[in-house]
Every structure is written in C-alpha cells, then in structure tokens.
Amino acid sequence: MNTIKLNNGEELDSTYIIDTIDGVFGFILQSWGPKDRNPEYAKAMEQILSRLIESNVPFINVYVISRNLAKAFPNINDRAIKINGVTNINPTYKNPHDLRLEIGREVAAIKEKPSQNSKGGNRFKRVLIHAPLLSKTDWDLIARGESIDLYKPTVDDKKVDHIVLALQGQEIEEPRGTSKPEKISVTSDTFFRDPLVKAWVLKNANGICEACQLPAPFTRTDGSPYLEVHHLLPLSEGGRDTIDNALAVCPNCHRKFHYGDNKISFAEDVQTKVSRLSQSNDS
C-alpha cells in the first residue's frame, strides 16, 4: 500500500490508492480508524490539499466512497461533498487545515439513513478526490511531496488549449492570473516563406475569404482588407509554398481549418470550390 510523504521525505502513517470508483477517477485517501489504521489521515489530507494549491489545480471534487454509504447512495454524485453549495471546491478557499476540517464536517453530515439525528459518525470516512486531467503519475508525484506543473503558466500553446478544453463548461472561480507574466526566449524551426506567393494569393482574393466567400472582417490601418494565408497542406507536413497550396481566408475560417471538428471535410469542400487548389496535395 502506498504511503503519503512529507516534504522532507518522511512517510506518514496514512495510505492511499489511485483508482476509478463508480466511474470517477481519482486519489483515494484511506480513512482514519478504527483502532490504529491510518492515524495520520488528517495530516496526510492537509499535505495533499497544500500540494494541490501549489500545483494551481483550479478545483477538486470530493466523494465519500465508504462501503455502507455507497449502498445507501448508489449514485456517487449523491455522495459528493459541497462547500458553499457547490461540488467544485477551490483548494484555496481556506488554508489546508481549515479546509480539511470543513470537508470532514461535510463528510460526517452524509448519513447512511438521511433521517437519523445522530451526532456521531466517522468524520474521516474513505474519500476519493478527483481533479480534472490529473493522471496516476500526477497523483503519485503529489503523494510523494512534489507539486506538478500541469496547470501552471506555460509557453506550450497546445498544452494551454488542452487544459482550456477540459475546463470549459466547468464552474471555476475567477483566477488570479499573473500580473507580471514570466518571459523566456525560445528557439523553434521555421520555414522560409515566399512573399510573392503570399502577395499574389491576397491580391487574387480581392478582399473576399476564399473559404466562406464573405468580405474580410476589417481593414488594416492602410485600408487594405485583412485576410490571412493558409497552406492547405502545412509546410511542416511537406506542403509546398505555392499558390496551388495557399489560399486567403478570414481569421474564423483559418481557425476552423486548424481546430474545427469537421476540419477535414471543410478543407476538402474548399479544395473543390477553388480550382487552383485541386492539385495542391499531389507530389
């Protein structure tokens, strides 16, 4: 059984597993008691909450997965802990100690028989902590005393888009952001572009998007229509920088070529409508 470690590497007397329970994947913290089982559960929970904060995790969901409660409430969502009426819990809502206590009180409030008035009950029942995108490797790192960089600011646009997509539609509190974003110098491969090809494609379009056939959305400061040049077969994939592989498009269509859920059929449709592109993918 895996144990949680302090930042100095010392192991706590509290165990965890990482698994999927009732369709929810997450970090399962073994409960305190009875007798001497996992006596340092509370300290372990605070360590985990602290590292989630350090890792910029925007929210967590906490579910009670004790066997008897699972029988009483088969739907795991009925065993979700709510703080301030919401199940998406901001780890920074309170300091780790106070948040752990509040979670414990909410755990204790879920009764096997909702009508019972007993004030007793184990405040530290077996719980599963879910956080979007966190993998088994991420959780193991957190348990070992390390923070992860998944949600931290990054220069990797693909990583940013991946996280944004996963969080869209979720209720998250307004982020603090970064008042002075860190700046680094990066090097990357790029391609020589023929300015004559770009100029010809833009002039030939005459201010009309070759994909949607609508006028350019705005004009530049010099009065020329704003369109962008898209390579049907990307240069990075062996595409030619020639007029039969390039077309002038509005920003919306340009994004659609790259990110649209129907981008393949969209490109094929445009290719059939613009005659000079008909042979653009031939070698």
Has domain 195-277 been given CATH number 1.10.30? yes
- Per-residue model confidence (pLDDT) at position 164: 80
> pLDDT tens digits, the chain, 283 residues: what are they?
689 999 898 999 999 999 999 999 999 997 766 667 788 889 999 999 999 999 989 999 999 998 888 888 999 999 999 999 999 999 998 999 999 999 999 988 887 765 555 444 444 468 999 998 999 999 999 999 988 888 888 888 788 878 887 787 788 877 777 777 788 887 777 888 888 889 899 999 999 999 999 999 999 998 999 999 999 999 989 999 999 999 999 999 999 999 999 999 999 999 999 999 865 454 4
- Please name which of 279, 214, 220, 221 lies closest in space to residue 253, comparing C-alpha atoms: 214
Name the packing angle between helices 263-273 and 251-259 (round to 10°): 130
- Per-residue model confidence (pLDDT) at position 151: 85
- Per-residue model confidence (pLDDT) at position 188: 77
- Per-residue model confidence (pLDDT) at position 120: 45
- Per-residue model confidence (pLDDT) at position 1: 67
- Please name which of 230, 276, 275, 278 lies closest in space to residue 257, comparing C-alpha atoms: 230
- Per-residue model confidence (pLDDT) at position 184: 85
Q: Are strands 61-64 and 11-21 parallel, antiparallel or unpaired?
A: unpaired
Tell me the CA distances in angstroms from 39 to 15, 30, 198, 275, one per residue in order: 10, 10, 69, 74
| Domain edges within the chain | 2-167, 195-277
In which residue are the tokens 């240069």 written?
Answer: 235
pTM score, two decimals?
A: 0.71
- Per-residue model confidence (pLDDT) at position 32: 63
- Per-residue model confidence (pLDDT) at position 35: 63
Alpha-carbon gap, residue 211 to 201, rounded angstroms: 13
What residues form DSSP beta bridges with 189?
none
